[in-house]
Structure 1
């Protein structure tokens, strides 16, 4: 398992045939996945709700240091567009509480058409912070959200580093610095292309540096359409373990 401050994984825990031998033979897909990787994004919550008991079952099936990031439903982000969704947000956060201390983060991904409106965004963050005091990461996809930095700092919301870049400045983490989060979708072909070894080595150095300056560092691979995400996550996790061990020997 990698440095406890760094959570590396994929958007989902499907184990493709190509990389299946790297995981234990016994157990559910999630149990096998969590034996090798330290974190995962639950993206299915974006499309449909899960029961509290489902989250509880998932939490009980992973090691103590494993963490889940749960994606906020599209009903809230894409259909209601952060407005008039207090009841739905409360239901979602309550469901996620089934993860207990395995809940590492909530992901708020916004549609490309959603323009930053300070009043709307602040009202949403107030509601969210009333319900959830833990880590939150935002992935905006409209240029206007570059103006949201002071608001993100105030409400302790990190802004994800994204590849391929969607808006200016999103190649590096921003927003609240207590959490740093990378979401890598595959480049040049989004959702398909793997990341090559030299890029992963550079990324491992970035994550190691980040982990010494913030509460938690995440890197999630979303290039799942071709199965590349799992291989990239395993390689990056190996590099981070090696870097951490080397740093430990030098101290």
Structure 2
């Protein structure tokens, strides 16, 4: 870890073209975790994992390493934040098996999900009753990018993700609770595939250094994994900060 900064990728695969940056011994996760300080578990979005699986992952990484984990799509996309108590409790019961290696949980919303104050209040109140750790939200409908929505998220200590590509200009900057900064960089112009230039990585590093100087916890996850660029960008950003 570099100060309060966590840099990593979505998943811990090691692309062949960057393999020389990592030790040769151990599992992919063990090799990854000796080089980068954090990773985002995306597979939890698609399917549940047994607590024993999370325990095994936690035991595979150094003490300073942290996992973020994506909240299941059954909660965010199927139930659209409503009547999901059973699914939420099940997920929390599983992911807590990461123990002290658990970092923020990520709530990524479908692009069609509008901001509804009553729905969001019920969901976040229930979430916060059950979980007091880091929480980040990546909304993708333009109705979320208002002062009102940001204040609502901040009230529950939920960071709004700074995303690229941004659905509206405001989506490119962090919002919500300022105690946690969470960047998710998906690649642009081609999502999941395009690399970020050295100038772009440098600009992100400058933002992170400023936030770290203010005492904030900073995460940056590269999701441009399709052609392996996430790994290159993450390593370069880690060096820059």
Give the TM bin, normalised by the shorter chain: over 0.9
Partner of residue 2, structure 2: 3
Q: Secondary structure at the match of 2:9?
A: strand
**Deviates further, 183-192 or 165-174:** 165-174
Q: Does 1:176 align with 2:177?
A: yes
Partner of residue 73, structure 1: 72
CA contact (8 A) 2:142 2:168 kept: yes
Q: What's the RMSD between the two structures over aligned residues?
A: 0.9
CA contact (8 A) 1:15 1:230 kept: yes
**Deviates further, 73-82 or 205-214:** 205-214
Alignment of 1:12-91 (within 5 A): 12-91=11-90
Partner Cα separation in structure 1 for residue 215 and residue 143 of structure 2 = 26
Partner of residue 155, structure 2: 154
Q: Secondary structure at the match of 2:235?
A: helix
Partner Cα separation in structure 1 for residue 168 and residue 47 of structure 2 = 28
Report the Cα offset of residue 156 of structure 1.
Answer: 0.2
List gaps (5 residues or longer) in structure 1.
Answer: 241-251
How many residue pairs end up in the alignment? 239
Q: Does 1:200 align with 2:201?
A: yes
CA contact (8 A) 2:3 2:212 kept: no
Report the Cα offset of residue 212 of structure 1.
Answer: 2.2
CA contact (8 A) 1:11 1:40 kept: yes
Partner of residue 248, structure 1: none
Report the Cα offset of residue 167 of structure 1.
Answer: 2.9
Partner of residue 187, structure 1: 188
Q: Can you list the C-alpha shifts for 1:209-232, whole angstroms capped at 9, x where unaligned?
A: 111224410000000011100010
Partner of residue 247, structure 1: none
Q: Secondary structure at the match of 2:39?
A: strand
Q: Secondary structure at the match of 2:122?
A: helix
Using the size of structure 1 for normalisation, the TM-score is 0.93
Report the Cα offset of residue 74 of structure 1.
Answer: 0.4
Report the Cα offset of residue 208 of structure 1.
Answer: 1.2
Using the size of structure 2 for normalisation, the TM-score is 0.97
Q: Secondary structure at the match of 1:108?
A: strand
Q: Secondary structure at the match of 2:88?
A: helix
Partner Cα separation in structure 1 for residue 97 and residue 3 of structure 2 = 21
CA contact (8 A) 1:26 1:32 kept: yes
Q: Does 1:129 align with 2:128?
A: yes
CA contact (8 A) 1:107 1:136 kept: yes
Report the Cα offset of residue 202 of structure 1.
Answer: 1.8
Partner Cα separation in structure 1 for residue 216 and residue 52 of structure 2 = 28
Q: Can you list the C-alpha shifts for 1:189-223, whole angstroms capped at 9, x where unaligned?
A: 11100001111112112111111224410000000
List gaps (5 residues or longer) in structure 2.
Answer: none
Partner Cα separation in structure 2 for residue 34 and residue 96 of structure 1 = 18
